Structures are given as structure tokens and as C-alpha cells.
């Protein structure tokens, strides 16, 4: 292909900038025109797009968020909306599209490809790490590090007061962020949507642990496993232990991307551009066992990722 475009969609994640930068610079290196679309699918429908030069992606690799902007777009969920987006691309001679976003954004990309045949390559850009076929999504490492930082601080105050701390973290319906941050933060309990838990049993264990001299307890709750507030309230009432709830919220989305997120996003961006240029389509690039892999786009959106059973087991052993 001789002209491609890139957009970021859905929730922003640290490393999206590095990925978009790599798409742009790889295309230019290969002598291919590259367009940036602002504000995701919404921007495409509003024709908010511009042809990019190398300088347009200067000074962004270290920044969180996405310089292209992102959005949620209802109209993209309709075939008419997607057809209009297709027209706005072809009007400009754009022959292929790279979509950087989460599960929903890739679903939108999959539909556009099926309906119009335009070559599409997706990159998994979400802190949730919930894209099937890949062990990794752009931003998940930085988000996990942000959670660890919060856990370290909460531990200090929890220990001083002998408190139970309930920390609610993001992840939508996926428990990956809670699981890895809980393991690396040394949480006593990690509640994830993928596994059933018995709160009464947990409360009984907590009461016993305190009787034996436990100084504090940290519970990490994935947002998909329940409300941190409600779980904290239940624990407080049932155990009568001094319990505090923290909901970390959007802090998890921001911040300068980690080395891992920058390097991997750059590598995935390069692969996405090269694939599009050579005419490939319906691929998502991700990582599996430490290497770049290509996943069928439709498989990626039609399958549900499962949590690594080794991590689940480890969490139980280390408790």
C-alpha cells in the first residue's frame, strides 16, 4: 500500500504514543504516506485527519495519554457509520488503517474490515491486558507499576494503624491488573472476576489472622469482581476490623510509559506499519512468551482471554 492511517480509540493507555509514533516513522521510512486521525472513530466520521510528517511525532514517546486523542463513538456501532468512515478514508486515497485500542475498538475494526475489505491491522492498546491471543497489551505494564506504587504507600499507613485496606483497581472484566499487582505488592487476598470467592470465609480468616497478631491485611479487588466500597463495608461489618477502601481510578491510566511499554509499543507499531504496507490485513500484533506474534483480528475479538493459571496458583501459594 502507498497510503495508510492510524488512530487511537477507547480508553487511553501509556505507550499509545510510542505505538503511533512507530507506525508513522516506519511508514515514512518505507516511503509511504501516513495520516493521523484525531479522536478515534469519532474523528474519522468528523473527517478530523491530517497527513503526518516525522516531526508530528516528536517529543511524545515519554508521554502518557495519546497525542491523537481518543473517543468512544456510538455511530461506529452502526453499519452506516462504518461505511461513512470507509468513504472518508478512500476519499483521501487511504488504503489501510491501523487501529490502536482495546477490545471494543478492535471489534469495531473487525467489522469495518468484514464490511468493506479495507486492510486493517490492530494493536492492543489498553491497560486491562484483556486481548485474547496476546500476553501483553500496550500500557498494562505502566498501569501495574502505578498500582504497585499505591500499594507501597497504602502498606505504610495500613501497618501503622493495623488496618484492613481494600484497594479497587481497573481491568474491566479481566483480573490481570489485580492479579499481577496483588502478587508483586504482596496482597493477602486478590479478588478477580475469573474466580469465585467466598467473602464470609475471607472474613473468618481475617479475624483469625488478627487474633494471631497480624498487623494489617491488603485486599486487591479487580473492578470486575465487585465494588471495593461494598466489599470493604461488608468486611468492616462482619469482622469489626478497622477497614479502609481506596479506589485508584483514572490515575492508573496516566503517567509516563515504562521502558517495557515504550519498547514493545514501538516494536508493535513498526510491525503494524510493515504489515499494512505489504498488503496484509485482519491481524492484531501482540506478544506471546516474550516474542511478537500475529493474531487473527476476528479471533482476537471473538475469544475471551483467560488468566494465567500459574499466576492464580502463585497468588494462592504466596498468601
**Binding site for Mg(2+), residues?**
103
| Alpha-carbon torsion angle 70, 87, 28, 135, nearest 10 | 50
Q: Tally the residues of the chain.
A: 319
- Cell 470465609 belongs to residue: 201
Rg (CA), the chain: 21
Nine-digit cell string for 103: 477490545
Residues 6+ apart with CB under 8 A from 264: 15, 136, 138, 141, 287
Q: Which residues are annotated as a binding site?
A: 11, 21-25, 72-73, 102-105, 126-128, 155, 163, 170-172, 186-188, 212, 214-216, 223, 244, 250-253
Report the residue number, 41 or 216, with the smaller CB distance to ligand ATP.
41
Give CA–CA dist 285/296, Å, rounded.
9
Shortest reach from residue 68's CB to ligand ATP, in Å: 14
Q: Which of 170, 41, 161 is nearest to 99 (CA)?
A: 41
Annotated binding site for substrate: which residue ranges?
126-128, 163, 170-172, 223, 244, 250-253
**13 or 243: CB nearest ligand ATP:** 13
- Compute the distance between CA of residue 268 and CA of residue 61 in angstroms, rounded to an integer: 14
* Annotated binding residues for ADP: 21-25, 155, 186-188, 212, 214-216
- Shortest distance, position 218 Cβ to ligand ATP, whole Å: 25
In angstroms, the CA 238 to CA 198 distance is 13
- Taking the complex as a whole, how short is the minimal distance between the CB of residue 171 and ligand ATP, in angstroms? 9
Beta bridge partners of 293: 286
Report, in Å, the least distance between residue 307 CB and ligand ATP. 16
**In whole angstroms, what is the distance from residue 300 CA to residue 106 CA?**
8
* Positions that interact with ligand ATP (CB under 6 A): 9-11, 41, 72-73, 76-77, 101-105, 107-108, 111, 126, 128, 172
Task: Mark residue 184 as left, alpha or beta (left: phi above 0; alpha: psi -120 to 50; beta: remaining).
Answer: alpha
Residues with a known catalytic role: 128
Task: Say if residues 97 and 6 touch (Cβ distance below 8 Å).
Answer: yes
Shortest Å, Cβ 12 to ligand ATP: 8
Report in angstroms how near the CB of residue 144 gets to ligand ATP at its nearest: 15
Please answer whether residues 220 and 186 qualify as being in contact, where contact means their C-beta atoms are separated by less than 8 angstroms.
no
Residue 47 to residue 37: CA distance in whole angstroms: 8
8 Å CB contact between 50 and 92 = no
Amino acid at each position: 500500500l502507498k497510503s495508510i492511517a492510524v488512530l487511537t480509540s477507547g480508553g487511553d493507555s501509556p505507550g499509545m504514543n510510542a505505538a503511533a509514533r512507530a507506525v508513522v516513522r516506519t511508514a515514512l521510512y518505507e516511503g509511504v504516506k501516513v495520516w493521523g486521525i484525531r479522536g478515534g472513530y469519532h474523528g474519522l466520521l468528523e473527517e478530523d485527519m491530517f497527513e503526518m510528517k516525522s516531526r508530528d511525532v516528536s517529543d511524545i514517546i515519554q508521554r502518557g495519554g495519546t497525542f491523537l486523542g481518543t473517543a468512544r463513538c456510538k455511530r461506529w456501532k452502526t453499519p452506516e457509520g462504518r461505511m461513512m468512515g470507509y468513504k472518508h478514508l478512500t476519499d483521501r486515497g487511504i488504503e489501510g488503517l491501523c487501529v490502536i485500542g482495546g477490545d471494543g475498538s478492535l471489534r469495531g475494526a473487525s467489522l469495518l474490515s468484514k464490511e468493506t475489505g479495507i486492510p486493517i491491522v490492530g494493536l492492543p492498546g489498553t491497560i486491562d491486558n484483556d486481548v485474547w491471543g496476546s500476553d501483553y497489551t500496550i500500557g498494562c505494564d505502566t498501569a501495574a507499576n502505578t498500582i504497585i506504587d499505591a500499594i507501597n504507600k497504602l502498606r505504610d499507613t495500613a501497618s501503622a494503624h493495623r488496618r484492613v485496606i481494600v484497594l479497587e483497581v481497573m481491568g474491566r472484566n479481566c483480573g490481570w491488573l489485580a492479579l499481577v499487582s496483588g502478587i508483586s505488592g504482596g496482597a493477602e487476598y486478590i479478588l478477580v472476576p475469573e474466580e469465585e470467592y467466598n467473602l464470609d470465609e475471607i472474613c473468618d480468616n481475617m479475624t483469625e489472622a488478627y487474633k494471631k497478631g497480624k498487623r494489617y491485611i491488603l485486599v486487591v479487588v479487580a473492578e470486575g469482581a465487585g465494588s471495593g466500597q461494598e466489599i470493604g463495608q461488608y468486611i468492616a461489618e462482619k469482622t469489626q476490623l478497622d477497614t479502609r477502601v481506596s479506589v485508584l481510578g483514572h490515575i492508573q491510566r496516566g503517567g509516563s510509559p515504562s521502558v517495557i511499554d515504550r519498547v514493545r509499543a514501538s516494536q508493535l507499531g513498526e510491525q503494524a506499519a510493515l504489515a499494512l504496507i505489504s498488503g496484509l490485513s485482519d491481524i492484531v500484533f501482540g506478544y506471546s512468551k516474550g516474542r511478537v506474534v500475529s493474531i487473527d483480528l476476528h479471533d482476537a475479538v471473538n475469544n475471551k482471554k483467560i488468566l494465567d493459571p500459574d499466576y492464580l496458583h502463585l497468588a494462592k501459594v504466596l498468601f
